[in-house]
Structure 1
Amino acid sequence: MKVISDCIKTVYDKSKAVEHYLSTSRRDGVKVQWEEPFSCSVFQQAIAPYSKSKTEKLQVLDVGSGTGDGYVLLSSLLSEKLELGSSENLDYLGIDISPQMVETANNLYRNRSNVRFECADIRTSRLESSFDLYLSCGVPYSHLTHEELYQALKMIVTNVCQHRSRSAVVVDVLGRYSIEWTPKWQESRWDYAMSFFESEGNAEPTWMSFYSHHHLQEIMQQAVNEVGCPVEKFEFFDRSIMVGRHTSTGQFNPDLPQYRNLMNSLLDPSQKTDLSQLIFQVELETSPEHILEFFSQFSSWWNSLVSEATAILGESFGVEPVELPPEVQGFKAKLQQELEQISDKHLYRQKVELMLAQALQQLEATQQPGYGVGHDLFGVMWLDATQL
């Protein structure tokens, strides 16, 4: 695999970013047990049509690879899902605009011959090899303007056509309608301060682009139309609707309950969580009707699950019960069954909190609409240029 690269100066302090990505505190309970499994589920769907035999390599280009999170997730996925191929037959190239990121990543994985990182700018680099998967995670494409995203995708689609390949393209961006930044819902590009990069003080603002699924699909469709590449399908996925990092920082919506901290508390057996804080009563801004309708429905499901758990603990929040989606129906009955074997009050509370966290995670994972209502919006397009 080869990329002809053209590195340029980054728009934010990459040394701080490297420190952030290598920090052990970054991988909190939500990231490990909620966000990473969801990302892997998206990657699994992306590569499922291209499952490889034990002798074939899955060729992957990871755009905005940072210190290699995409490789870790993908290799662990292939190790668990053997029907998709083998992690040993993964041929992975990560590209990033930051020399510091690339150097760090190459040092981390220097003993793995099938993994390498190069300094390259997706806006100006030329691809010379064919890839089965064009991966992205960590919202690298949101650093680009909308026009730059179009040009980057056009270059990728052109490469697919030139090699007459069948490929999946995963585009990870910031969701426009996340509850983390409701005051910014009317804007599609604004100065986003990555405050979680800083252990102390305030981070410098970085202009970032935010997307609804309609806008993202429009740009993706424009790119394939311009090149003339056949599209098998598009799909969109929302990640971290309720637990994005800025529900903790309050950077853009200071009145928002700290849902991520609360979820981490539910997942931590040493903590006792104030369940009343989990009730979803977020004041939403003016937005398209389908966005408001989604949050109205989703909040009723979320609050109903919280209410069922608190009722078992002898508390009541006066939440109106609603019919839950099939994936989380029977939560209260399952919880009561588990609790029958527990007499210790502390363990009883732990079990309630853990099972509530699992139910809320299942609710979000199965009912996300792919509208751009989470911290991340994944857009996936499957291209088939084999008949060109």
Structure 2
Amino acid sequence: MQSVGEKTYSQAVREGKYDLYVGNLFGKYDNVRTYWEDQLTRIALRPFLRELVERCRRENRGVRIVDLGCGAGQGYEILTKIDRRDLDLGLQHERVLPKEEIDLYLGLDISQAMVERGQVLFESQPEVTFAQADLREGFGPFKDREPFDIYFSSYGSLSHLNRQDLVKLLQDICEHSGNESLIVLDFLGRYSIEWPDFWFADSEDEKVRDYTMSYLYSEAVRKEVESDRFPLRFWVGSDVKDLSEELTQTCGLGVEVLKLMDRSMLVGRHTDTQEYNKQLKPIRRAVNSLHQDYLRTNLEELVIDPAIVPDHPVIAPPLRELIDSWNVVVEYCQQRLWERCSLTQLEGWDDFAKPLQFALMTIDRVIADVGWMWYGDPRANIIEPQLGYALRTLEYEMQRGRGCGHGLVAILKTQK
């Protein structure tokens, strides 16, 4: 059976878009992917992965991982580069899951091109292996393997499955898993500002929409190439909770939702392409610029009009609150660069949410501490990246796991 989106994925592999990290202003491995999305996924996973690894150590064995829809093995890079704690200036990296403690990483993907690319990229690592698999058919072909500790997915890979097929896959996984295995689900969020027309989907058919990965290409290329389109299922937080309850009832074991995280609420892939919402500004492009060496960003391009958020009784208020807070940080940074304001002059400080106060203090201190530097363009190479991290933290601290981001990450644990 041909893979959905096979044309897009095969072309992307041929062009090297699934090779390991290449930072950029657009494409698969743009700066937002590297400095925001990968890092936020790691932050969300860290406490649960740390507990799992320590349990495996007590049992004197390595960690077993299966990556569902693995691409060329990018999940391996996410899982093995999680620091045990936030680093201070004196610490070296100490990973939660060192590579030498992995017994097996099995990457499964429907695309043979992806599987072959992964085999090339990881050919020197014997603990890493790949196999072609159609997850729409469940986990059956791999049931004879020992249980895995982590059933992992990333970046919307499981949105390729409709709900019925996903339930079948997860039922197989629950039957196959050991006690306290982690299941990491990564979906496209239905409440993203990228596609407000999807917000009010009610029936199951309405929750499945055509999707395109046109963001892999620059604006000039997008005008010349017609991107492949394929159906994906869009999810919200309440869907995941319902799914967990259904699995608990049908599989005879506990399936606990440990965490739900909205990822890329304002900087999703299609904010730049405007494929689904013509009102959006290319915010992701501007944030990519914040993290690019020796490139100064027009900070005015980061300001977002809250009016782009449609009316919705549950989703609109927190999104508008985030946008308002985001704009306060950006505008304060602009003024502070010109020494036209200070924190003591900001009105309404006591009413600001704690994440907003922290972001503002971060920007204020960074600008104050590097103002004396003349070499190496401190604005482009120090202040702007720190503005990016401040906005990233603001978004993470204000998200509520409702499906309001481009991605919705769900971390589940089985209990037998």
Give the TM-score normalised by structure 1. Answer: 0.87
Deviations 1:66-116, CA, capped at 9 Å, x for gaps:
100001221233798757343112111111111121122112212211010
Of 347, 350, 364, the residue aligned with 1:333 is 364
Deviation at 1:186, TM superposition (A): 2.6
Pick closer, same or farther for the CA change 1:194–1:241 going to 2, 3 Å.
same
Which residue does the alignment assign to 2:165? 148
Query: 2:291 and 2:402 mapped to 1: Cα distance?
Result: 27
Q: Secondary structure at the match of 2:280?
A: coil
Which residue does the alignment assign to 2:18? 21
Query: 2:119 and 2:376 mapped to 1: Cα distance?
Result: 49
Judge conservation of contact 2:152–2:183 (CA < 8 Å) in 1: yes
Which residue does the alignment assign to 1:47? 49
Q: Which amino acid aligns with 1:382?
A: K
Which residue does the alignment assign to 1:86? 98
Query: 1:228 and 1:382 mapped to 2: Cα distance?
Result: 14
Deviation at 1:233, TM superposition (A): 4.0
Greater shift, 188-197 or 205-214, is seen at 188-197
Q: Which runs of 5+ in 2 are unaligned?
A: 85-91, 202-206, 341-345
Query: 2:240 and 2:179 mapped to 1: Cα distance?
Result: 23
1:282-293 equivalence runs, <5 A: 282=306, 283-287=308-312, 289-293=313-317
Deviation at 1:350, TM superposition (A): 5.3
1:1-388 equivalence runs, <5 A: 8-12=1-5, 13=7, 14-19=9-14, 20-22=17-19, 24=22, 25=24, 26-51=28-53, 52-53=56-57, 55-77=60-82, 82=94, 84-90=96-102, 91-124=104-137, 125-126=139-140, 127-128=143-144, 129-160=146-177, 164-187=178-201, 188-198=207-217, 199=221, 200-282=224-306, 283-287=308-312, 289-314=313-338, 323-326=352-355, 327-342=358-373, 347-348=378-379, 351-385=382-416
Pick closer, same or farther for the CA change 1:305–1:353 going to 2, 3 Å.
same
Q: Secondary structure at the match of 1:21?
A: coil
Identity across aligned pairs (percent)?
A: 27
Greater than 6 Å deviation, 4+ residue runs: 78-81
Pick closer, same or farther for the CA change 1:46–1:311 going to 2, 3 Å.
same
Kindly tell me the number of residue pairs found equivalent between the two proteins: 373
Query: 1:232 and 1:172 mapped to 2: Cα distance?
Result: 16
Judge conservation of contact 2:81–2:95 (CA < 8 Å) in 1: no
Q: Which amino acid aligns with 1:174?
A: L
Deviation at 1:237, TM superposition (A): 0.7
Judge conservation of contact 2:290–2:380 (CA < 8 Å) in 1: no
Deviations 1:156-207, CA, capped at 9 Å, x for gaps:
11212xxx42201000000111122223323322111221245551212111
Q: Which amino acid aligns with 1:335?
A: V
Query: 2:161 and 2:376 mapped to 1: Cα distance?
Result: 52
Judge conservation of contact 1:157–1:224 (CA < 8 Å) in 2: no
Pick closer, same or farther for the CA change 1:269–1:171 going to 2, 3 Å.
same
Judge conservation of contact 2:69–2:107 (CA < 8 Å) in 1: yes
Pick closer, same or farther for the CA change 1:109–1:78 going to 2, 3 Å.
farther
Query: 1:277 and 1:72 mapped to 2: Cα distance?
Result: 32
Pick closer, same or farther for the CA change 1:220–1:17 going to 2, 3 Å.
farther
Deviation at 1:230, TM superposition (A): 1.7
Pick closer, same or farther for the CA change 1:296–1:197 going to 2, 3 Å.
closer
Pick closer, same or farther for the CA change 1:234–1:110 going to 2, 3 Å.
same
Deviation at 1:349, TM superposition (A): 6.3
Query: 1:184 and 1:352 mapped to 2: Cα distance?
Result: 37
Deviation at 1:346, TM superposition (A): 5.2
Give the TM-score normalised by structure 2. Answer: 0.82
Query: 1:320 and 1:184 mapped to 2: Cα distance?
Result: 37
Which residue does the alignment assign to 1:3? none
Deviation at 1:373, TM superposition (A): 0.9
Greater shift, 164-173 or 276-285, is seen at 276-285
